[in-house]
Amino acid sequence: MLFRNHYGVDLGSSSVKVYSAFRNKTYIEKNMVAYRERKILSMGNDAYEMFEKAPADVTVNSPMAFGMIANLELQEIVLYSMMRKIDHTTGLGADMYFAVPLDMTAIEKRAYYHLVNGHWLRKNRVFMVESPIADAIAMNVNLEKEEGSMIVNIGAQSTEFSIITEGKIIISRKIPIGGRQMNESICSEIRKQYNLQIGTRTAKRLKLVMGRLNDQKKEARKVVGIDSVSGLPREEVVSASVVNEGITNCVNQIASEMKTFLERTPPQIAYHIAKEGIYLTGGSTRLPYLDNYLASYTGFAFNLSDLYETSAVRGLEKIIRDRELRKWAQPVKQKKL
């Protein structure tokens, strides 16, 4: 029986995932805040609704950038408002398990501590689990074997490659490319091919309905954008092949970084990874046929997780529910910082 409430929290640049042990359930909300000067207008999914539609004096953005906390105060507000919605909590006295990036500086670690020991969230205990470890636990990877496993997470603003042997991450690399860069790449392809400027939200919609990395279906969608020459709004029918050209440009960068990463991996480890397959997760791996595409680019086999964006928070859930797994969480105390 758990007396204190336990939460698992994965702060992503695109969404916050929170597991509540009390409810035994995971909640996902957009990691966005809309504000005018110092006044908060909306948060989470409501703020995302305003994204790219808000008037000029309203700022809408994410408190996380490239997988790091960029605005502590706003991030605390988003997390607190989510926890209030879930458990009607006061924000006091819980155990908070965070999936965190590797190689954080002392200042970045301190940010996680202060996030839940600040204005609204107080007196909470903090535990950190390295994200790739949380992903691996969720995907049932045996962390303690000596041969080595490779985990790849393709998120919204970052892609991370990690190799784990004997319970440690021995090599890792994070690149600032993810789903958002795919959206931007779609925008620039459409600008090139149609002389039309569209917003990244429209690009994302095109990605979700037509994005796929194999033989194209002959599809097209109508969009409205701004004509690059006249500056006037214009309608255009955008074909799937243009959208996928944009996506492919971005995926090729990820694939080529992955290939270089694998080439630098010690041969005995690479040999085992080739046999076992690379574990693939993160929201952007929902892109149809991405695993096949990466497999033919790199020559390695892939195990695609069906957890996608929720894998890290699922790992935290397992750690919270199973005492045996608690060793993967490091407590963070204020005096140590």
Beta bridge partners of 235: 224
* Beta carbon of residue 226, minimum distance to Mg ion (angstroms, whole number): 32
For the chain, helix, strand, coil in percent to 5 are 40, 30, 30
CA distance 301 to 279: 9
Residue owning tokens 């694998």: 262
**Site membership for Mg ion, residue 12 (CB under 5 A):** yes
CA distance 131 to 313: 9
Residue of the chain from 5, 14, 165, 298 that contacts ligand ATP (CB under 6 A): 14
Q: Which residue lies nearer to ligand ATP by CB, 118 or 155? A: 155
Q: How would you class 317 by CB atoms within 10 Å of its CB: exposed for 0-12, middle for 13-18, buried for 19 or more?
A: buried
Cα 152 to chain center, whole Å? 11
**Site membership for Mg ion, residue 155 (CB under 5 A):** yes
**Site membership for ligand ATP, residue 13 (CB under 6 A):** yes
- Token readout for 217 is 């279906």
**Site membership for Mg ion, residue 315 (CB under 5 A):** no
- Residues 6+ away with beta carbon under 8 Å from 250: 177, 181, 182, 185
Residue of the chain from 44, 67, 148, 225 that contacts ligand ATP (CB under 6 A): 67
Residue of the chain from 77, 83, 156, 255 that contacts ligand ATP (CB under 6 A): 156
* Beta carbon of residue 67, minimum distance to ligand ATP (angstroms, whole number): 4
**Site membership for ligand ATP, residue 207 (CB under 6 A):** yes
The one of ligand ATP, Mg ion, none whose footprint includes residue 114, by CB under 5 to 8 A per kind, is none
CA distance 227 to 223: 12
**Site membership for Mg ion, residue 211 (CB under 5 A):** no
* Beta carbon of residue 72, minimum distance to ligand ATP (angstroms, whole number): 16
CA distance 250 to 252: 5
Per-residue x/- track, 272-301, ligand ATP (CB under 6 A): ----------xxx-xx--------------
Span of 100-108, 150-158, 200-208, 238-246 interacting with Mg ion by CB under 5 A: 150-158
Number of residues that bind Mg ion (CB under 5 A): 2
The one of Mg ion, ligand ATP, none whose footprint includes residue 148, by CB under 5 to 8 A per kind, is none
Q: How far is CA 256 from CA 200, 268, 272, 275, 304, in A?
A: 24, 21, 21, 20, 19
Beta bridge partners of 161: 152, 173
**Site membership for ligand ATP, residue 178 (CB under 6 A):** yes
Choose among 34, 27, 33: nearest CA to 9: 27
**Site membership for ligand ATP, residue 204 (CB under 6 A):** yes
The one of Mg ion, ligand ATP, none whose footprint includes residue 14, by CB under 5 to 8 A per kind, is ligand ATP
* Beta carbon of residue 180, minimum distance to ligand ATP (angstroms, whole number): 5
**Site membership for ligand ATP, residue 8 (CB under 6 A):** no
Q: How would you class 191 by CB atoms within 10 Å of its CB: exposed for 0-12, middle for 13-18, buried for 19 or more?
A: middle
Site residues for ligand ATP per CB under 6 A = 12-15, 64, 67, 155-158, 178-180, 204, 207-208, 211, 282-284, 286-287, 309
Site residues for Mg ion per CB under 5 A = 12, 155
